[in-house]
């Protein structure tokens, strides 16, 4: 197993203690008003981000968006863990009407108000009268709150930049907003009743858990119960060989209140560059039953640098330019370049050791060396 993954799993392996009080089911020891929580030796911070319009894009735009999504994932720092959560819950119609629905005024503008209200409802509710909220929670081990706060400030700024490139807005959650998420999960019919003032709670000597935990909590063999509701935790043990890009959308459309989460553990490049040991482990575990191989050269191309190097390691006396590619006048590409079908290199470009993906366009006057050009908007 990869060393970083082993370390994180060992750190997270805590002895399970059966809660003696219902407040103990909340795995948070301390909170700060800016939304930083502490659980054991781990500090966490949650960011909310808006939906990304993916399904309606063209094929070329979805490829571009996918590459930007990869940039976001690759920006995750080693030493931290990231949890992407999609919270689905049925809309509280009363709260919804109070928050976004414009009241009628019996004047000529009412017809516009009705149209706007209908549009707001369609955008807010979506299919099945379910609300979809999206969060990214970052967890890190730090020696004190000052170091954790400085870390989250920097990470938050970086996340905002990467998400903006995806057309999404990112905002931090403060303590009340994070506690409201937990409260609304355990008390879904009391969302509008939640109120929390961290200073007032501290003065009274109360625990923040008293404001968010359910009245009762019981566990059974295959589910848990709180109040008149029950729930269950399920997880994907293994992924299929092929996963469709709309898998998450389909899971969100099953028509149930739930929290769907994806966990990311960043791995250092020097540990992740070779996948062969992983294949060997899978063979030993019986998860991989056959490999088709030959006695030729095997190369790992898990990074952009190694992908470029693989092309340079097999030189050609002439540039490898597809017949359907277009090289404009005044431009030159050296013998180490590869230009795919439908690609366009505009006027007065100089490319050395570059790869131009199919359909990509290199702007006029570009001077580049060892660079990959891919589809963009």
Q: Are residues 292 and 256 in the same domain?
A: no
Q: What's the confidence (pLDDT) of residue 241?
A: 60
Last residue of a domain, one of 215, 238, 269: 269
**3-class SS of residue 256:** coil
Q: Are residues 138 and 232 in the same domain?
A: yes
Q: What's the confidence (pLDDT) of residue 278?
A: 67
Q: Are residues 52 and 193 in the same domain?
A: yes
Q: Give the separation between CA 373 and CA 359, rounded to whole angstroms.
A: 10
Q: Are residues 35 and 133 in the same domain?
A: yes
Q: Are residues 280 and 265 in the same domain?
A: no
Nearest CA among 183, 209, 81 for reference residue 136: 81
**3-class SS of residue 345:** strand
Give the number of domains in the chain: 2
Q: Are residues 240 and 306 in the same domain?
A: no
Last residue of a domain, one of 269, 290, 318: 269
Q: Give the separation between CA 128 and CA 251, rounded to whole angstroms.
A: 13
Q: Are residues 227 and 355 in the same domain?
A: no
Q: What's the confidence (pLDDT) of residue 145?
A: 96
Q: How many Cβ atoms from other residues are within 10 Å of residue 354's Cβ?
A: 25
Domain span at 210: 3-269
Q: What's the confidence (pLDDT) of residue 312?
A: 78
Q: What is the pLDDT along the chain (377 residues), one digit of tens a residue?
A: 567 777 777 776 666 677 788 888 888 999 999 999 999 889 999 999 988 776 667 767 777 887 888 888 888 988 899 999 998 877 666 655 665 677 888 888 888 888 887 776 665 555 456 778 899 999 999 999 999 999 999 999 999 999 998 889 999 999 999 999 999 888 877 877 888 888 888 888 889 999 998 888 888 888 889 888 888 888 887 766 666 767 787 888 777 788 899 888 888 877 765 656 666 676 677 666 655 555 556 666 767 777 888 877 777 777 889 999 999 989 999 988 999 999 999 999 999 999 999 999 999 999 999 999 987 54
Q: What's the confidence (pLDDT) of residue 257?
A: 82
Q: Let me know how long the chain is.
A: 377
Q: What's the confidence (pLDDT) of residue 34?
A: 95
Q: Are residues 221 and 85 in the same domain?
A: yes
Q: What's the confidence (pLDDT) of residue 114?
A: 85
Q: What's the confidence (pLDDT) of residue 285?
A: 74
Q: Are residues 233 and 162 in the same domain?
A: yes
Q: Are residues 263 and 313 in the same domain?
A: no
Contact, 99 vs 117, CB < 8 A?
A: no
Residues 6+ apart with CB under 8 A from 32: 145, 149, 175
At which residue do the structure tokens 């063209």 appear? 58
Q: What's the confidence (pLDDT) of residue 119?
A: 73
Last residue of a domain, one of 241, 269, 297: 269
What's the pTM value of the predicted model, to 2 decimals?
0.65
**3-class SS of residue 23:** helix
Q: Are residues 249 and 356 in the same domain?
A: no
Q: Are residues 262 and 303 in the same domain?
A: no
């Amino acid at each position: 197993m990869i060393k970083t993954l082993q370390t994180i799993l060992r750190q997270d392996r805590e002895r399970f203690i059966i809660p003696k009080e219902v407040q103990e089911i909340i795995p948070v020891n301390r909170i700060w008003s800016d939304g930083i929580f502490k659980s054991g030796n781990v500090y966490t911070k949650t960011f909310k981000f808006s939906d990304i319009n993916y399904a309606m894009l063209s094929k070329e735009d979805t490829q571009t968006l996918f590459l930007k999504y990869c940039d976001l994932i690759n920006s995750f720092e080693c030493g931290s863990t990231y949890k992407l959560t999609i919270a689905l819950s049925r809309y509280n119609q009363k709260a919804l009407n109070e928050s976004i629905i414009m009241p009628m005024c019996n004047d000529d503008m009412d017809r516009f108000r009705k149209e706007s209200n209908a549009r707001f409802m369609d955008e807010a509710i979506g299919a099945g009268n379910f609300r979809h909220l999206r969060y990214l929670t970052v967890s890190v081990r730090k020696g004190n709150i000052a170091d954790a706060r400085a870390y989250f400030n920097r990470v938050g700024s970086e996340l905002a930049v990467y998400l903006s490139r995806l057309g999404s807005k990112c905002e931090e959650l403060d303590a009340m907003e994070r506690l409201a998420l937990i409260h609304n999960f355990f008390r879904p019919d009391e969302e509008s009743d939640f109120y929390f003032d961290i200073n007032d709670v501290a003065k009274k000597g109360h625990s923040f858990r008293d404001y968010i935990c359910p009245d009762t909590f019981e566990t059974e063999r295959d589910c848990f119960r709180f109040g008149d509701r029950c729930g269950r935790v399920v997880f994907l043990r293994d992924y299929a060989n092929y996963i469709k890009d709309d898998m998450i959308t389909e899971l969100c459309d099953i028509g149930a209140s739930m929290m769907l989460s994806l966990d990311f553990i960043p791995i250092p490049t020097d540990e992740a560059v070779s996948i062969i040991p992983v294949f060997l482990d899978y063979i030993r575990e019986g998860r991989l039953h056959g490999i088709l191989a030959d006695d030729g050269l095997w190369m790992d191309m898990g990074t952009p640098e190694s992908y470029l190097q693989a092309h340079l390691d097999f030189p050609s006396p002439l540039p490898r330019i597809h017949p359907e590619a277009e090289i404009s006048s005044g431009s030159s590409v050296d013998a180490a370049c590869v230009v795919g079908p439908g690609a366009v290199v505009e006027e007065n470009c100089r490319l050395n050791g570059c790869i131009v993906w199919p359909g990509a366009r290199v702007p006029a006057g570009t001077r580049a060396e060892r660079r990959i050009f891919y589809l963009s908007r």
